[in-house]
């Protein structure tokens, strides 16, 4: 507070209850110090107190009472207290029923039934036994509450349809769980919270692990746990919020929208349900726009307009329509005149933005018929292959260019990079050596490939090679 470092929504106050030391007076007075009045505390420290308004006796500064408001500030204090208790009691076991996530705990936590165990030492990674044990426990719980019907293959739309049928329309045909549970909102939110906490642990590990194989495994387990958590309590805003987030992280935007839509249908009076639906739609819109998929962006914006008619969403729809028309115009130009290099570049840019690898390859094949031995057109083709990671095809073009323009260091340098990507290190070494030799003697060495070798990690294994290091130190 005194350093002005409070976050938005946090409020820390010091309450000073002054007592006049003059026995004949005995006046009591209070002063409240917050972020705005913090300079007053420094003034009091300099004077040693404040004078009594009745008799003028200097009243010493009392021990302050601290008042903290704001979720983040309160939970930060709770986190510090919990960490202190944990550290001061090394001989005790600790278990957590999560109320609010405490970041320091995550590396120590593992699933333990309906709660989590706080291990003394950080856990490197979960093994398959941890996942299987957790699933088995919660599948049994699910059997008693809503029936054990959620599997790996159960889709988010299927769960949403089940939730609407069960909780909204109260259609229990084929329902094998507890009818009492379906009528108990508090129980639904409680068990949803418990399962969601464990799903959140998997999500944290998904976001923090560097192991790509485990990253996929954690995401898979997080999504499964959130499926159960949502089925237990689809009106639990925390579960919905976290589930939407993990679905967005893994690129399942349509599932995130479906989830938010069900939450909105089940609890339309809750303002958060509309906010979550808008957030899911906006995230999807951004993804479609970024990928150049204007048709889907337009569809998403129109959905936003339906739930928020006054949101000016149609302005963006019109913009996307213009962009879509522009893309169609450029692609048509390439189809009519495929030998034109500018048209080819535009087509590759559009297909690449759409992440449409097949369309990129088709465009390359079409343009290649007109390339012949033209170095400029061949360069465009090999760069397009690099865009989609087709390194073998790029190598073939790079090799052709070294035959067509054997004295250009750039062609040998590009060939070296491609062969490094293919793991052909011995051939890449020879290509790189030729490129550096030609660079030194070239009169048009505008591209400093020596700096690229020294700074690009791709070339790190070659820098100290006895055939390369001297060339890096030799001035052109």
Tens-place pLDDT, residues 131-183 = 999 999 999 999 999 999 999 999 999 999 999 999 999 999 999 999 999 99
Cα–Cα distance list, 75 to 98, 99, 110 (Å): 12, 10, 21
* The domains spanning 128-291 and 338-473 adopt the same CATH topology: yes
Cβ atoms 413, 428 nearer than 8 A: no
Q: Above 60 in pLDDT, residue 88?
A: yes
Domain ranges of the chain: 11-69, 71-118, 128-291, 338-473
Which candidate, 216, 243, 248, places its Cα nearest to that of 228?
243
Q: Above 80 in pLDDT, residue 11?
A: no
Q: Above 80 in pLDDT, residue 393?
A: yes
- When comparing pLDDT for 1 and 445, which is higher? 445
Residues in the chain, overall count: 476
The model's pLDDT over 325-353, given as tens digits with 9 standing for 90+, comes to 999 999 999 999 999 999 999 999 999 98
Query: Is the domain defined by 338-473 classed in CATH 3.40.50.300?
Result: no
Q: How far apart are CA 92 and CA 11, in angstroms?
A: 35
- What architecture (CATH level 2) is domain 128-291? Alpha Horseshoe (1.25)
Q: Above 90 in pLDDT, residue 422?
A: yes
The DSSP bridge partners found for residue 118 are 94, 109
The model's pLDDT over 264-311, given as tens digits with 9 standing for 90+, comes to 999 999 999 999 999 999 999 998 888 888 999 999 999 999 999 988
Which candidate, 198, 155, 151, 146, places its Cα nearest to that of 174?
146
Residue 192 burial (C-beta neighbours within 10 Å; 0-12, 13-18, 19+): buried
- Measure the N-to-C terminal CA separation of the chain; round to a whole number of Å: 59
What mean pLDDT value characterizes the chain? Answer: 91
DSSP 116: E
Cα–Cα distance list, 78 to 65, 110, 119 (Å): 17, 20, 19
The DSSP bridge partners found for residue 111 are 116
Please state the rounded mean pLDDT for residues 68-97: 83
């Amino acid at each position: 507070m005194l350093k002005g470092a409070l976050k938005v929504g946090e409020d820390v106050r010091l309450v000073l209850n002054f007592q006049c030391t003059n026995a004949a007076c005995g006046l009591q007075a209070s002063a409240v110090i917050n972020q705005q009045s913090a300079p007053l505390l420094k003034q009091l420290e300099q004077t040693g107190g404040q004078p009594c308004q009745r008799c003028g006796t200097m009243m010493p500064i009392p021990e302050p009472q601290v008042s903290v408001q704001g979720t983040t500030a309160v939970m930060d204090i709770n986190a510090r207290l919990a960490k202190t208790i944990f550290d001061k009691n090394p001989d005790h076991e600790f278990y957590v029923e999560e109320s609010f996530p405490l970041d320091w705990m995550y590396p120590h936590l593992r699933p333990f039934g309906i709660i989590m165990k706080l291990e003394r030492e950080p856990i490197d990674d979960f093994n398959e036994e941890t996942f299987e044990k957790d699933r088995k426990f919660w599948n049994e719980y699910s059997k008693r509450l809503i029936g054990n019907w959620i599997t790996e293959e159960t889709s988010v739309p299927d769960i949403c349809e089940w939730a609407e049928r069960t909780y909204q329309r109260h259609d229990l045909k084929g329902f094998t769980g507890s009818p009492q549970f379906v009528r108990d909102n508090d129980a639904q939110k409680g068990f949803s919270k418990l399962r969601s906490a464990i799903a959140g642990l998997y999500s944290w590990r998904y976001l923090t692990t560097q192991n790509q194989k485990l990253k996929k495994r954690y995401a898979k387990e997080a999504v499964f746990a959130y499926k159960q958590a949502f089925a237990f309590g689809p009106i639990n805003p925390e579960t919905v919020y976290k589930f939407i987030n993990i679905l967005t992280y893994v690129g399942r935007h349509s599932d995130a929208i479906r989830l938010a839509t069900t939450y909105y249908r089940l609890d339309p009076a809750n303002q958060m349900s509309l906010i979550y639906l808008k957030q899911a739609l906006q995230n999807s819109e951004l993804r479609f726009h970024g990928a150049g998929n204007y048709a889907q962006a337009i569809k998403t914006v129109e959905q936003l307009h339906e739930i928020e008619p006054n949101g000016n969403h149609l302005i963006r729809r019109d913009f996307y329509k213009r962009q879509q028309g522009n893309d169609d115009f450029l692609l048509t130009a390439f189809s009519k005149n495929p030998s034109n290099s500018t048209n080819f570049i535009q087509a590759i840019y559009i297909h690449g933005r759409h992440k449409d690898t097949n369309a990129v390859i088709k465009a390359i094949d079409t343009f290649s018929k007109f390339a012949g031995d033209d170095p400029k057109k061949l360069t465009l083709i090999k760069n397009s292959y690099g865009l989609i990671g087709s390194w073998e095809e790029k190598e073939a073009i790079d090799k052709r260019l070294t035959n067509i323009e054997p004295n250009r260091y750039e062609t040998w340098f590009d060939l070296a990079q491609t062969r490094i990507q293919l793991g052909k290190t011995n051939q890449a070494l020879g290509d790189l050596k030729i490129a550096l030799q030609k660079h030194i003697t070239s009169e048009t060495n505008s591209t400093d490939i020596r700096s690229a070798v020294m700074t690009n990690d791709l070339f790190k294994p070659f820098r100290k090679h006895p055939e390369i290091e001297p060339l890096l130190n030799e001035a052109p």
